[in-house]
Amino acid sequence: MTEPSPNTATPSPAWQMSACLDILNDIQEQIRFADSKAGFIAVFNVLLFGFVASHTDKLRTLCSGKELGTGFVVLALVLVGTYVVSMVTTFALVVSCVISRFGGRAQQGRVFFAHIAAQYGKNHKRYTQDLGAMTNAEWLEELGAQVVEVSRLAIMKHTYVRRAACCTLFSVLLWVGSLVTMVSIFWMQAP
């Protein structure tokens, strides 16, 4: 571990606050990116599900005849059922990603909107007085707490998106397997 050199100056408080604001902005951009990816995953899954839903009559026809006992029909039903479960799991992960979180774990502060509303209500005068009385060290602590909390939220959102993407990949494989199985059944039934 290297020790700081004795002639290294500590950055000014203004620079430190500016750095915290830049870091906070970058992390918030990562949160928006995770939410955008979650939206893409949701739309992609809706398109896949729309195709399956528009062909349920064909699946019902397969199940209503004497062919129900065939291995391909059972395989098709298992694949479609597993696909639906995987798709629902994906949507649960996507919703978990985009659901609002209001910093319940963070210390009460003066820079997060939920804490400001809870502490000050509509008393903007008291809020501006409290801000005006803050020292540079207090500002830095407030911003640092916000950076840590937003970082935790960004990691959580990206974790949900990663899991939703993996479920989507699994769903696509099940979707393709279901499609191939159903097409094979129809070809075998063709005169």
Question: What's the pLDDT at 69?
Answer: 54
CA separation for the pair 20, 32 (Å, rounded)? 18
> 170 by DSSP, 3-state: which?
helix
Nearest by Cα to 139 from 3, 6, 21: 21
175: phi then psi, degrees, rounded to nearest 5: -60, -50
For 34, the token pair is: 């995770």
> 3 by DSSP, 3-state: which?
coil
CA separation for the pair 29, 150 (Å, rounded)? 11
Question: What's the pLDDT at 165?
Answer: 96
Q: Does pLDDT of 188 surpass 60?
A: yes
Say which residue the tokens 């501006």 belong to.
128
pTM of the model: 0.79
CA separation for the pair 82, 175 (Å, rounded)? 9
CA separation for the pair 132, 152 (Å, rounded)? 29
Percent of the chain surpassing pLDDT 70: 86
Q: What is the pLDDT of residues 4-45, one digit of tens each?
A: 566 678 888 889 889 989 999 999 999 999 999 999 999 999
